[in-house]
Amino acid sequence: MSGVRRTSSLRGVGAVLLTAGGLVAAVLVWRLAALASHRSSAVGDGSNPATYGFPLAPAAVPAHRIVASGMPKDGLPALCEPAVSSRAALAAATGRSKLLLGSDPVAGLELGGEARAYPLRFLVWHEVVNDTLGGEPIAVAHSPLTATTVAFRRQVGSRTLVLRVSGLLVNSGHLLYDPQGSLWSPLLLRPVTGPAVTEGAELEPLPLAISSWEAWCQAHPDTTVIRPDPALQREYRRDPYSSYFGSDLLRFPVDPLPPHPAYPLKEPLVAVRIGARLRAFPFQLVEQAADDQGHWTEQVEGVLLNFVSSRRPRTVTVTAAGGPLPTLYAAYFAWYAAYGPATIATRGKAERDPQPLR
């Protein structure tokens, strides 16, 4: 962290932290781009957003903030209505390979009386799952570069979105695209370019928990889990982001960045939406406030929040006494750039009065 603080570009507009991180980033991009290298008809040259074929106007963010990730459009295959299994069936299908361990983190979602788990080791190679749960079309999006994981309804107005990976980023976070060509930011919960911006569309987030597979199954014994894509079984065993998260170095432009970071830039946080407001809690804050069993309760906006932290894997889940609340996960730097410091709790309180959801 101290090396990052000594880097003056941290305070600059569009800061890009390179040096040693450049090599890490190059390996990261190479690993991911390998998935798409066989596609002769790939759209997008990996560096110029204009080559991806998306309308970049109207835009809800400055157009220069949208950058190419190094991958073409659809460089990672989105999952659409994936097959699902019970815990036992998944173990039988993968045999001795143990593709999913009890300690592996999963994004868990319960809706309409159904519970389902989305293993992060699967999501990292797809970045979005278009699914149906409890009779409702939903999506689970995971942006590895910003540690963002969000679930939301796919029904937007009269349309049911089917989202895929654009190959473009804003503030290091992935952008998804719909059949009309609009680009959507799961972290911002809204479109950033295209027709959907004019429509004033928004995404409705859902309650989500990131926990270990074992803990999720204990809390939801009847859960299902998405089945792996057989074509990617070998890839699921690798973590192309382990080096990236070994430091605070960033690969792509992010603006703004905190001038005096209160936490490591990649510190994970969990956020809840209460009414129209968002409150984000860094894992470190929750861990410091928690008792010996990892439990912490806090009254926020008149709602009693219950936090549970775990070390292996490092996770934080949050529930509300009055019922489930929409929940999002992200890295500190990404959340700061998206929503600012006023939404980030310090010792259980926001640094300033929280701002309305943008």
Domain boundaries defined on the chain: 79-230, 260-350
Would you place residue 268 in the very low, low, confident or very high pLDDT band (cuts 50, 70, 90)?
A: very high
The percent of residues in the chain predicted with pLDDT above 90, rounded, is 78
Question: What confidence score (pLDDT) does residue 41 get?
Answer: 77
Q: Within 13 Å of residue 72, how many CA atoms lie on the same side as its CB?
A: 15
Cα–Cα distances (Å) from 41 to 53, 169, 176, 232, 337, in that order, read 13, 21, 19, 20, 34
Over residues 338-349, the mean pLDDT reads: 84
Would you place residue 25 in the very low, low, confident or very high pLDDT band (cuts 50, 70, 90)?
A: very low
> What are the backbone angles phi and psi of residue 36, rounded to the nearest 5°?
-105, 0
- Give the tokens for residue 216: 């999720």
Question: What confidence score (pLDDT) does residue 207 get?
Answer: 98
Q: What is the mean pLDDT of the chain?
A: 87
Report how far residue 32's alpha carbon sits from residue 30's, in angstroms, rounded to the nearest whole number: 6
CA trace torsion 229, 235, 236, 241 (10° rounding): -140
Over residues 154-177, the mean pLDDT reads: 97
Over residues 262-279, the mean pLDDT reads: 96
pLDDT reading at 17 higher than 70:
no
Question: What confidence score (pLDDT) does residue 31 get?
Answer: 47
Kindly report the length of the chain. Answer: 358
The percent of residues in the chain predicted with pLDDT above 70, rounded, is 84
Cα–Cα distances (Å) from 308 to 266, 289, 292, 296, 316, in that order, read 20, 11, 11, 7, 6
- Give the tokens for residue 252: 């792509």
Give the strand pairing for 148-153 and 327-331: antiparallel
Instruction: Write the pLDDT tens digit of every residue in 305-329.
Output: 999 999 989 999 999 998 999 999 9
Q: Are 68 and 49 in contact (CB under 8 A)?
A: yes
Distance of alpha carbon 342 from the chain centroid: 21
Cβ within 8 Å of residue 108, ≥6 positions away: 115, 116, 117, 118, 208, 209, 210, 211, 216, 219, 220, 223
Question: What confidence score (pLDDT) does residue 88 get?
Answer: 82
Question: What confidence score (pLDDT) does residue 97 get?
Answer: 60
Question: What confidence score (pLDDT) does residue 3 get?
Answer: 40
Q: Which CATH number fits domain 79-230: 1.10.246, 2.60.40, 3.40.50, 2.102.10?
A: 2.102.10
Report how far residue 212's alpha carbon sits from residue 163's, in angstroms, rounded to the nearest whole number: 26
Would you place residue 47 in the very low, low, confident or very high pLDDT band (cuts 50, 70, 90)?
A: very high
Question: What confidence score (pLDDT) does residue 87 get?
Answer: 84
Instruction: Write the pLDDT tens digit of every residue in 178-234.
Output: 999 999 999 999 999 999 999 999 999 999 999 999 999 999 999 999 998 999 988
Q: Are 209 and 74 in contact (CB under 8 A)?
A: no
Over residues 285-299, the mean pLDDT reads: 96
Q: What angle do CA 352, 145, 107 make, to 5 degrees?
A: 80
Higher model confidence: residue 357 or residue 288?
Answer: 288
Task: Note the pTM of the prediction, 2 decimals.
Answer: 0.88
What is the enclosing helix (H) or strand (E) of 234?
Answer: helix 233-236
Report how far residue 258's alpha carbon sits from residue 36's, in angstroms, rounded to the nearest whole number: 34
Question: What confidence score (pLDDT) does residue 347 get?
Answer: 62
Question: What confidence score (pLDDT) does residue 96 get?
Answer: 54
pLDDT reading at 18 higher than 60:
no
